[in-house]
Amino acid sequence: MDVSFLGGPQPQRGVGVVAPFDFALDRELWRWVPDDVSLHLTRTPFVPVEVSLDLARLVSEHETLREAVRALIAVSPEAVTYACTSGSFVGGLAGERAMAEAMTQAGDVPACTTSGALLSALRELGAKRVAVITPYTKSVTDALEDYLREAGIQVCGRSYLGLTREIWRVGYRDVVDMAREAVHEAPDALFISCTNLPTYDVIPQLEAELRMPVVSANQVTMWAALRQLGKDAVGPYQALLDPAARRGPASMAPLPPVVDGALPGTALPEPALAEAVEPPQGYQEGFPDPFGDALPDVFPDDER
């Protein structure tokens, strides 16, 4: 059969991604990427160390990052990014900048890191007070708070799981529970740390319930990397990526008045977060409904 009429494949632009050896969420990264952009991933060498500050330092040594970028350059990406939160905040602001510079020099292309992307995203949203949730131990969570404080960001609430391995197995329900625990002091935004923690589907759900922007490590990494190509990340009803989400029912607008003793749009009833959400009163016409039939149930029974 003659298929010459197809004329493809279409040209692709590329982003190189350096990830720690235990990164398990390649598929999640792709969900933020438009169809005409390809991701080229490589991993740092294995080291027999659990998730900790020591591991963060080992996987972010400059020579390790340079070698990874040199490998990626073989496929000519237009930008590279280091997809690791703890590895890019463990050295503070100066350490993060030095990592990005080492990667840029190694590949002669623009480079960014997850923690650098986080600060850019918070500036984009005008967020100066944040709550943070992490799967890390206390010491690693403390280091994240130190990094944000050095950047002039106040951490006004936090929650963490204390994990040292297999973070990718954490379910959405645990993420939601941490978020509810961390936001008691009305922050400007919530940050979900760790590129090995699944977050794509839960972001719009949390924004609707908490009525604040929610950003995650993988989201800001892809958002910043794609901006280096002049491209937009794909993420419906995520405030960082979708202007309508900032103005619509999941926006930061004031909550409606109390009706029959309940505040619409506040804590969602169990058992199913996605099924329980209703558009809040005062919904602005002209903006898409993020809770239509197309939105999947992101909390299946095995994660409750």
Averaged pLDDT, 119-148: 98
Averaged pLDDT, 116-126: 97
- Give all strands (DSSP E) within the chain, no chain letters: 13-19, 37-43, 79-82, 111-113, 129-134, 154-160, 189-192, 214-216
Query: Cα separation of 87 and 84, whole Å?
Result: 5
pLDDT of residue 253: 52
CB 69 within 8 A of CB 107: yes
Sign of torsion over alpha carbons 94, 100, 103, 109: negative
CB 38 within 8 A of CB 100: no
Averaged pLDDT, 49-74: 96
The reported pTM is: 0.81
pLDDT of residue 300: 45
Q: What angle do CA 242, 153, 165 make, to 5 degrees?
A: 80
Averaged pLDDT, 113-119: 98
Condensed to tens digits (0 to 9), the pLDDT of residues 205-248 reads 999 999 999 999 999 999 999 999 999 999 989 999 998 887 75
- Please say if the pLDDT value at position 191 is more than 60: yes
Averaged pLDDT, 144-151: 98
Residue 86's CB is within 10 A of a number of other CB atoms, namely: 29
Averaged pLDDT, 134-155: 98
- Please say if the pLDDT value at position 304 is more than 90: no
Which residue, chain included where needed, has tokens 């990005």?
100
Query: Cα separation of 275 and 298, whole Å?
Result: 9
- Please say if the pLDDT value at position 44 is more than 90: yes
C-alpha torsion 138→144→147→149, nearest 10: -70
Averaged pLDDT, 16-24: 97
Structure tokens at 249: 């029912």
Averaged pLDDT, 101-119: 97
pLDDT of residue 246: 78
Q: How many residues does the chain have?
A: 304
Predicted confidence band of residue 11 (pLDDT cuts 50, 70, 90): confident
Q: How many CA atoms lie within 13 A of 153 on its CB side?
A: 27
pLDDT of residue 258: 45
Condensed to tens digits (0 to 9), the pLDDT of residues 253-303 reads 544 544 444 444 444 444 444 444 444 444 344 434 443 444 344 444 444
Averaged pLDDT, 169-191: 97
Residue 33 CB contacts under 8 Å (≥ 6 apart), including other chains: 15, 39, 222, 226, 233, 234
Distances (CA, A) of 88 to 62, 114, 140, 191, 282: 11, 7, 12, 15, 41
Query: Cα separation of 87 and 75, whole Å?
Result: 25
pLDDT of residue 288: 44
- Please say if the pLDDT value at position 46 is more than 50: yes
Structure tokens at 127: 């967020």
Listed residue (126, 152, 153) closest to 240, CA to CA: 126
**Domain layout of the chain by residue ranges:** 12-247
- Please say if the pLDDT value at position 89 is more than 90: yes
Task: List beta partners, residue 189.
Answer: 130
Average per-residue pLDDT for the chain:
86
- Please say if the pLDDT value at position 7 is more than 80: no
CB 161 within 8 A of CB 135: yes
DSSP, res 248: S
Query: Cα separation of 158 and 279, whole Å?
Result: 28
% of residues, the chain, pLDDT over 90: 75
CATH level 3 topology of 12-247 = Rossmann fold (3.40.50)
Query: Cα separation of 105 and 280, whole Å?
Result: 49
